[in-house]
Amino acid sequence: MVTTCNLQNGKSEKVNSTEFSLHQRFDFGANWLSFLNTLNEERLSEAVVSLQELLGVENLEGKSFLDIGSGSGLSSLAARRLGASVYSFDYDPKSVGCTQEVKNRYYPDDTDWYVEQGSVLDRDYLASLGSFDVVYSWGVLHHTGDMLEGLHNVTIALSDQGLLCVAIYNDQEITSGFWKRIKKMYCSSRVGKFLVSSLFLPLFVVQGIVIGCVKYRNPVGHFIHYKKKRGMSVYHDWIDWLGGYPFEVAKPEEIIRFYTTQGCVLENLITTNRLGCNQFVFRKVV
């Protein structure tokens, strides 16, 4: 059974200790370290445009931006490029190192961008950070092992009239349950990782070629244009998808209903009918 959050009654079907331990957590940071080899100005420009469109802003001058689960550091970098003062944290030490490396490359000695290790599941830590004009957590909360707690906690640091941006895996019910088992196998051992990669990566390549031929009339068109998705890399997104465990999902109406009860109104919504993330932007009004 796929791990989901029942947001209607405030209960979460958490990943418990019998099926999850720290050594089974996907090594997100290692994947992001590899991604940094592909980071360039073109990818950064795409990330900036994607952030502008999602938040509905031209710039973030004079705004404070909290990046919860900063990962590669690309979203933090895009926010800084738009003029925000940025505070980035991640649970994974390697991801913290990635974000710090990106900061060192583009904004060395910048006092308006701070990077550290922290957990979104630590309420006291979130409260200690103060309040931010934009709280951003893209594709993070469903990997914590307690998505419901994460959904609650991101609002702790959100200022009045501030924007909250979250992206959560779409609930595909039986299909999501299948992928949870695949992800768990990937993270179970080197053998599991090899088997899953050997089976699915060739399938993803074929799928990408078909999409390229149909959509772009070019067999490599899908791969060429993929960077327009927030500046990301198709290969590293494949690895993130196959190994991203723990894994929880939610239907878009559940997320909307949940944050409405938290005093937020929906300002932007980008949904998918596939296995990717639904993207939400809320404004805190009370």
pLDDT at 21: 52
pLDDT at 15: 42
Tell me: the pLDDT tens digits for 122-134? Answer: 999 999 999 999 9
pLDDT at 22: 52
Alpha-carbon distances of 142 from 116, 122, 153, rounded to whole Å: 21, 16, 13
> Is the predicted pLDDT of residue 76 greater than 50, yes or no?
yes
Tallying the residues shown for the chain, one arrives at 286
Rg of the chain taking only CA atoms, in angstroms: 18
**Contact present, 145 and 15 (Cβ < 8 Å):** yes
Task: Give the pLDDT mean for 250-269.
Answer: 96
The structure tokens listed for 220 are 């490599």
Domains and their CATH numbers in the chain: 3-7+22-172+248-284 (3.40.50.150), 174-242 (no CATH)
The structure tokens listed for 271 are 């949904």
Q: To the nearest whole number, what is the mean pLDDT of the chain?
A: 90
Element (H, E) at 74: helix 74-81
pLDDT at 6: 53
**Confidence class of residue 231 from pLDDT cuts 50, 70 and 90?**
low
> Is the predicted pLDDT of residue 144 greater than 90, yes or no?
yes
Tell me: the pLDDT tens digits for 193-224? Answer: 999 999 999 999 998 899 889 888 888 788 77
Tell me: the pLDDT tens digits for 15-37? Answer: 443 344 555 788 998 988 988 98
Element (H, E) at 248: strand 248-249
State pTM to two decimals.
Answer: 0.87
Tokens 């960077």, residue located: 227
Task: Give the pLDDT mean for 137-163.
Answer: 96
pLDDT over 90 for what percent of the chain? 72
pLDDT at 236: 87
Taking residue 213's Cβ as centre, other Cβ atoms within 10 Å add up to: 14
The strand pairing partners of 90, in sequence order, are 117
Task: Give the pLDDT mean for 109-124.
Answer: 97
